[in-house]
Structure 1
C-alpha cells in the first residue's frame, strides 16, 4: 500500500540570529487511516516538522511526498492548491471567520477549490456538521457558539475537500477535558470508520497514548515510536 505520507531525511536549519539545526535527518512513513501523534518537549522540533509537512515552509533538505506526489521543490502557487485539496488543518485556535455563519465557514475551502457546484458543497457541509453534532447551529455566526463547538466546526471545515491527511497542531490545546475527549473521539472515529489519516502534534500525554502510533522527538531527532 502506498503511504499517505512519506518523509525522507528531512534536515532543517534556522539562520536567525545564528545558524542552528532544528531537524536532523527525520524519516518515517504514515499509512492511510493511521492516527499518529507527534510528541516532544518544547523545542524538540515537532511543530517545525509539522509546518514542513503542511508545505507552508519549503526551506529544507530531504523529500516529502503525500499520496505519492513529491512536494519538495514545487512552486508556492502549486503548493497552495495542493494544500487546499489534499490537507485539512485543525489548529489549537479554530481560526473561524467570526462574522460568517458556521455553514459558510465549512463551505469556504470547497468554494475556493471550485471542483463542485455550490449546492453540492452546501449539502456536504451540512452532512459533516450533522455528523459532528452541530445540527441546529449551521446558520449562527461562528462567534456565537461555544469553544468546543467551534473546534468541531473547524474539523468539519478540514474535512470538506476529502483531504488525504488531517494535520492537527495542538488541536485540543484550548479545550477543557470534556471537549478534549469529544475531539479525540471524533478523530479516532474518522481514522477507523472513514480511513482518514491524521497527524497531530500534542503536549497531551493521554491524547497521545490513545493514538494508533506515537513518534517522540528530542532535539530534532526521532528518539522513539
Structure 2
C-alpha cells in the first residue's frame, strides 16, 4: 500500500507513463464534464419553454458525474493510506486564514492604487446564476468542489509524479483555468488554491480540500 503524502520535492515525470496513466484521462473527463452545465444554460436560454426540463436533465447528469467522482475517490482511498475522515475545525481554520489573507492583500493593493477588476469567470457565473439559480447552486457548491479537487489536487499531481512540485503546478493550472484578471485576480485565486492544497496535504484527505472548497464557494454564493 502506498503512503499518502510521502512525496519528494520533485520527480521527473515519464512521458510514456504519464500518457499511459488512467489518471490523466480521468482528470480530462472530470475537467470537461461540468462544462455541460454552461451548455445547458445556453440551450435553456434559447428554448425557455424547455428550461425546467433542461434543468432537471442537467442536474441528473451532474448527480451521475458526482457519483462517479466519489467512487474514484473511495477507490483511491483503498489504494493509498489517505485519512478517511476530515477535521472540521482545521477546515474552518483554513477558510478563515484565506479570508484574512485576501483581506490583507486587498488592503495592501489598495494602498498603491490597485483594485480588483471584474473577473471574467465570476461575471459568467453571475449571469448564469440569475437565469438558473438551482442548477448553478448545485454546480458551484457541490459538483465543482468535488470534481475540481479530484482533478487538480489528486489526479493531475499523480499523473505528473507525484511530488510537491506537481501538486503546486497543478494548483497553478487550477488558477489559470479560472481566467483571473490582473494581479489581484491572480493573487485572489492563488490564495484560494493554496488553501485548498494545504487542507488536502495537511489532513491527508481529498475530502478536506473538497470541504474547504465547498465552504469557500458557499460563502461566495451567499456574499
TM tier, smaller? under 0.3
More strand by share: 1
